[in-house]
Structure 1
């Protein structure tokens, strides 16, 4: 897909907009090119297709424990030996029968060399495996009707036992891991059903790494009279009739602000993994383990830790089905249940117009309310998918990281999660104000031909009409004296309403009114803003054009102040020195220093906080077959942490994940999973069974990541091979200078208009 920068935005509408505003609006479209290009010939899944369900798929509850085991080093070139562990003891014949129901056979007893390590290191079904010494495998001698073959874990070889003995069994898992691409035709025939407590029965399918249950509705479609209203609870329907969970649900409506240059429908399908629609409140569950929730004596079993991902994209773009968020490797290596979600975007997710329309009718913050509804669904139903509702970690990047901040601020969400991983949140900028949100909401009504108080009128318009009006309303709001809002990191942001979000995060940290009990892990990539720099300034800026080029870049002439610091001194021998230094300075101002300051504040409130910087990563566009952004060469740009976080560098058939890329992904995943399981990113011996592969990764066990104590900026630095800890590093001095001379946007442009002092 070939899209020029000049096509992405309507210049007539945005000519007065601040440079960084333009960059942030164009960024998601540029990223879409990278995501979409290698998939342009793929048959995109559609939620509108006829049911793909096969007959006689087994019900997970009847199997009483079925688990996918794999020693996954994330390297595309390493041979994989996946197996299915049936934890319920059965006779040989019954074990073989269950394997057959799953479309498999018992594991070949002539090739068991991999089993000892696999069964000793897995973090999946460890409570079952602890009690198991022997497991059924395929008979070496089929002529005997009374003697069958079992694998003896202690001896590491096979033994012959009476076939009537009841043992767990090991089945083959013949499927490849999930990929997308021009010639990929995913085998969805190996299906299984799950009955949930409150959502009905779903039939999904399996691949090498996980059971996949896709397109599960967690709220009623927000259409018609439910448009612009909070997510409404959905009824489960007939629990005896399985719902199709083999296809991703619709992606939410995308807001491109491109003046009519949107990618076509096919291209969008590839970018998002699904077609877009207002009927989009779906989630996807990926699990390595479907287990009985109770033992034979009725004792309740603990499930696997759950990680719920909130995607980024400026609150305007992407979906939980976007290929880069494919979690198979995270699920398999980490031994966790992963949930990805869709939530309403753009004006569909942030409409409000107070006081003309009171909050009793249009509450606002719909995107965050959707996320909370998905979290509530997890609390109600995830145990059926092998997950532990008491051990939920939320994580997200960019706007997803911003969402983490909102969920840390919304009291109604506090009991729904335990740990938070926030990647690349623009912590130097505040939440939005009702006044600015109402400018867009009021403008939307105007362009729809509705009165400022007529919500019903807006609910009766088509989605296309809303999108068209949204573009005009957004441009108006930014062009009439509000350009500085764009410089703070996005048009759509969570809005302070005094109730759902009682205050800006900086104020909530100061007063201790955020979720202090949550364990927090957050950080940034070393060169965040560099991804957007060519969109802001396409070409190097001559030194004699500095003042003109930077005028209005940040309000109060703060961009000029930045260059008075020795830390950002211009190098006259470098023809691109202005963009190079500005890249460092804006990354500090919006990401790095804001994160360190908020780390200091939350540590002062006795939260458990771990802070990082990524000095290595993998560019999304180059990994997925697109061109590498030239300005990002030698840098670690915004989104370069996505692939390592999921281990998704091999999700397309054109891409691989080998060598140092696989090693780095192992390091990131193992740290994040350890944190999700224990609230601490450092493996310990007492958690060895729980941690599995993470507890045996020397790149992780060899360096202790210290908790942020507020006394010094103790920062964990992710490196390609040997990560390290920095204390009182160079960025600390730069941040001290910024705080004294420039100040953060959340200070000088707080939503209530009052200056916010630093805390602590």
Structure 2
């Protein structure tokens, strides 16, 4: 998994981000609703002390502060009452190594709301989006995740959330004393604070606090999986959807401490000089994020949720699905060609790929310890007509980006979870023939942002119909606890029913069974854990 567009994502090792054609009995239940009435003050809509704007036919309130925090400390909520605020532009994003064109600040606890009408009696379902980028980078300012089209066509309230990332949100400092007791999971606690704000405030924007769905792509999905094992998140959301984003295990505290020490060494700090780390300019702290990870054998240092036994008392999906999550209806999705997004078919890592070096190239990328020469031979025997590049991407996707979803879906099914639905995006990009159906390509279909910068979907009739299907499926889950496609069969063992989102939308049982069984011969170890 990876983040919005391009980033380095340890959850996937290294990385960065279809038309309901009716077949059989498939039917779209949650079709786009007529445009709802706007609030009375359409020119300058106001909710509480926040003045927003009209955007694409809905009301938008951007850059609403939901909390404040000192460095490495738990955030406190922002009061609802106070001086008037003009909420028409996004707040600053968390400091990070990328996205230098965006305003960055440690003061980054802001959310954004799009609503068809700011009417407390409306009680529309609420869809809350967490962005990708692992736990290191990214932001909901990405045009792919602007919420106006989803709010209008899905007839829902859309909320998107920024929070603390990388060392600011996940450095493990608890060994330095009680004032750092919540470190390692501060970014997660920010999301919980945002969900508490939504519980208490979203009704004023026309939302229903009893129907809150969280959804997220890549690292955003991983954050959701982690929340499903955090006691303080219990009851704050009622449905969930993860898009190429899984968190089977969290980081262990000893690995997390080694990473913090490597980070401090890169900043030329003594191993116990936490006070300098707390006081240094944030620009210098960000420079230290380039430190080499001591546990993953290369790449930038990983910061993510830590098994601290208080805020996160167990792994999200090991040895089983967290019991508190079993009553939450959930969609889990993946794309067929995940790794084409971050193993560039035009880049150096694919240059010179041949049958002679296929095994070595596969071995560099996968996260399951099987002999790559044997894997290569198995793929060639199973798919004799496939060219070398197709086998490379199929194997690296199935051995790197897909296993976490299989583990989570199987764990929920085995535990008798409330309801689980699984999808696979198969529709290839019509704009880039080498991209296939890659990581992040499901985002514009769900948000309806087909024409946004960074979208590979195209804007033709096929893309629009698939967007209607996926948007309806997600909005349906938010509204009713079931996807808005009538015959999307729940995921159960051993059938493993999977919705294929392509130009023809259809359900298939266990569509990549051979690959799933091959990679299940050895355990998957979550990068970063």
Match of 2:67 in 1: 219
Q: Distance in 2 between matches of 1:654 and 1:527?
A: 16
1:462 to 278, 281, 285: 281
**How far did 1:417 drift?**
0.2
Match of 1:584 in 2: 394
**How far did 1:380 drift?**
1.1
Q: Distance in 2 between matches of 1:653 and 1:430?
A: 30
Match of 2:427 in 1: 616
Deviations 1:143-166 (A, max 9, x none): xxxxxxxxxxxxxxxxxxxxxxxx
Q: Distance in 2 between matches of 1:393 and 1:734?
A: 31
Name the one with the larger helix percent: 1
Match of 1:394 in 2: 214
Q: Tell me the SS of whatever aligns to 1:509.
A: coil
Do the aligned partners of 1:252 and 1:280 also contact (CA within 8 Å) in 2?
Answer: yes
Q: Tell me the SS of whatever aligns to 2:327.
A: coil
Deviations 1:535-592 (A, max 9, x none): 5723142333345545554578525166256345487887x61x42131122223343
Do the aligned partners of 2:423 and 2:499 also contact (CA within 8 Å) in 1?
Answer: yes
Match of 2:499 in 1: 716
1:234 to 65, 73, 78: 78
Structure number, greater radius of gyration: 1
Number of aligned residues: 507
Q: Tell me the SS of whatever aligns to 1:416.
A: coil
Q: Given the alignment of the two structures, is residue 537 of structure 1 paired with residue 349 of structure 2, yes or no?
A: yes
Q: Given the alignment of the two structures, is residue 732 of structure 1 paired with residue 513 of structure 2, yes or no?
A: yes
1:318 to 107, 125, 138: 138
Q: Given the alignment of the two structures, is residue 664 of structure 1 paired with residue 512 of structure 2, yes or no?
A: no
Q: Distance in 2 between matches of 1:744 and 1:580?
A: 22
Q: How does 1:294-693 map to 2 (within 5 A)?
A: 301=121, 303-357=123-177, 360-361=180-181, 363-426=183-246, 430-472=249-291, 475=292, 477-478=293-294, 482-483=296-297, 491-507=302-318, 509=320, 512-534=322-344, 537-546=349-358, 548-550=360-362, 552-554=364-366, 558=370, 560=372, 563=375, 566-569=378-381, 577=388, 579-607=389-417, 608-616=419-427, 618=429, 628=432, 631-632=434-435, 635-651=436-452, 657-682=459-484
Q: Tell me the SS of whatever aligns to 2:52.
A: strand
Q: Distance in 2 between matches of 1:616 and 1:498?
A: 42
Q: Tell me the SS of whatever aligns to 2:314.
A: coil
Deviations 1:225-250 (A, max 9, x none): x1111222223452xx3211011111
Q: Distance in 2 between matches of 1:342 and 1:654?
A: 21
Query: Which deviates more, 388-397 or 339-348?
Result: 339-348
Change (3 A) 1:434 1:653: closer
Give the TM-score normalised by structure 1: 0.61
1:281 to 109, 115, 136: 109
Change (3 A) 1:414 1:22: closer
Q: Tell me the SS of whatever aligns to 1:604.
A: helix
**How far did 1:437 drift?**
1.9
Deviations 1:78-132 (A, max 9, x none): xxx967467xxxxxxxxxxx6xx64xxxxxxxxxxxxxxxxxxxxxxxxxxxxxx
Q: Distance in 2 between matches of 1:548 and 1:737?
A: 18
Q: Distance in 2 between matches of 1:638 and 1:653?
A: 12
CA RMSD for the aligned pairs?
Answer: 3.3
Change (3 A) 1:669 1:502: same
Q: Tell me the SS of whatever aligns to 1:324.
A: helix
Instruction: Return the structure number with greater relative CO, CA threshold 8 A, min gap 6.
Output: 2
Change (3 A) 1:451 1:362: farther
Change (3 A) 1:22 1:550: farther
**How far did 1:727 drift?**
1.6
Change (3 A) 1:733 1:551: closer
**How far did 1:599 drift?**
1.6
Q: Tell me the SS of whatever aligns to 2:306.
A: coil
Change (3 A) 1:613 1:411: same
Q: Tell me the SS of whatever aligns to 2:423.
A: strand
Q: How does 1:734-749 map to 2 (within 5 A)?
A: 734-740=515-521, 742-746=522-526
Q: Tell me the SS of whatever aligns to 1:191.
A: coil
Do the aligned partners of 2:36 and 2:155 also contact (CA within 8 Å) in 1?
Answer: no
Q: How does 1:95-174 map to 2 (within 5 A)?
A: 102=42
Change (3 A) 1:342 1:459: same
Match of 2:4 in 1: none
Q: Tell me the SS of whatever aligns to 1:393.
A: strand
